[in-house]
Amino acid sequence: MPGRTYSIAAFLLALLILPVTCFALQKGDQFPELSGKTLDSRDFNFAQLKGRPFLLKIGTTWCPACKEQSTEISKISTILDNNNIRYVEVFVQETAATINSYLERDKNRPPDIVLRDPGDIARRLNVFAIPRLLLVNENFRVFSDSNPVDSETLADRINDMLTGK
**Residue range 89-122, pLDDT digits in tens:** 999 999 999 999 999 998 999 999 999 999 899 9
Burial of 165 (C-beta count, 10 Å sphere; 0-12/13-18/19+): exposed
d(CA 83, CA 52): 10
- What letter does residue 113 receive in the DSSP assignment? E
Give the span between the Cα atoms of 112 and 85, in whole angstroms.
9
pLDDT of residue 6: 46
Residues above pLDDT 90, as percent of the chain? 78
Residue type (1 letter), 140: F
